[in-house]
């Protein structure tokens, strides 16, 4: 199964070569092997966003020519009110394989302007690169965290405007911090912190199994990909539990 890493290397404030090498190393440690070469669609493993700027600009210009964008302080945005009035698109139905159909009312969604491109920084924000890369790579099912549900209608709206096929979604449940009821993050939940206490096999087994309802299975990356069936994915987020990792660790020790 091919694995692609999408890299927004236009965001120079947070992305540099050392950062990329660290991400490659972490993924490799957990059994995800990437070819450290630029992606030529369908052939290699890494998409460098900076290499595809011309492609994204062509699609952005389609929106500008169609009169559905606005510009303020060098930021080009999709104007939702204009899109609704000009294209008579008000309601969208998102096809999610876990959550069935999700309906969005654009007019009452709270969205007014969707930022697309910063002229001063000469870089695209998330939306157009995500939609176009998925299209060019022939992706039919987009798998994301359920915290990204709110942007799914924006991406489907762009697909309609670009006249490209829709995708199905799987919005995965999240591992939540039991203290904050929010997504786990910070130094206490860093990869380095986990690896200092647990083997990669134990940690990976917990992470793969925590969102999957098949019980009593010791997962590694290979058997998970081989046996994966989205019907067994849990429908709702759960809390991160140190004791569950400890239980897996004890079972591994006894084997």
pLDDT per position as a tens digit, 75-86: 999 999 999 988
Report how far apart, in Å, the C-alpha atoms of 76 and of each of 37, 60, 79 are.
31, 9, 9
pLDDT at residue 13, rounded to an integer: 65
Domains of the chain: 5-47 (no CATH), 50-172 (3.40.50.620), 176-254 (1.10.1160)
- Is 0.75 surpassed by the pTM of this model? yes
Lowest mean pLDDT among 112-116, 133-137, 216-220, 223-227: 216-220
How do strand 5-7 and strand 46-48 relate by DSSP bridges?
A: parallel
Two tokens at 22? 């660290």
- Examine the pLDDT at 39 and tell me if it is beyond 60: no
Tell me the pLDDT band of 117, cut-offs 50, 70 and 90: very high
Average pLDDT over residues 210-228: 80
Among candidates 88, 151, 91, which has minimal Cα distance to 115?
151
pLDDT per position as a tens digit, 8-25: 777 666 666 777 777 777
pLDDT at residue 40, rounded to an integer: 43
- Rounded distance, CA 233 to CA 210, Å? 9
């Amino acid at each position: 199964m091919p694995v692609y890493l999408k890299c927004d290397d236009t965001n120079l404030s947070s992305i540099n070569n050392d950062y990329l090498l660290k991400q490659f190393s972490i993924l490799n440690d957990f059994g995800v092997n990437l070819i450290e070469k630029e992606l030529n669609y369908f052939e290699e493993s890494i998409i460098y966003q900076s290499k595809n700027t011309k492609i994204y600009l062509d699609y952005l210009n389609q929106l500008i020519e169609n009169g559905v964008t606005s510009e303020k302080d060098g930021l080009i945005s999709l104007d939702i009110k204009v899109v609704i009035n000009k294209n008579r698109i008000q309601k969208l139905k998102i096809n999610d394989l876990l959550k069935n159909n999700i309906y969005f009312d654009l007019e009452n969604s709270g969205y007014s302007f969707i930022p697309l491109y910063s002229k001063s920084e000469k870089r695209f924000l998330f939306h157009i690169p995500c939609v176009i890369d998925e299209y060019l790579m022939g992706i039919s099912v987009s798998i994301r965290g359920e915290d990204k549900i709110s942007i799914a209608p924006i991406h489907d709206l762009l697909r309609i405007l670009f006249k490209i096929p829709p995708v199905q979604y799987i919005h995965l449940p999240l591992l939540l911090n039991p203290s904050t009821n929010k997504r786990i993050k910070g130094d206490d939940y860093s990869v380095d912190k986990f690896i200092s206490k647990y083997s990669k096999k134990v940690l990976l087994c917990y992470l793969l199994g925590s969102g999957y309802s098949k019980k009593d299975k010791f997962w590694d990356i290979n058997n998970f990909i081989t046996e994966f069936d989205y019907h067994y994915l849990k429908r709702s987020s759960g809390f991160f539990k140190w004791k569950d990792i400890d239980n897996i660790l004890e079972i591994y020790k006894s084997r």
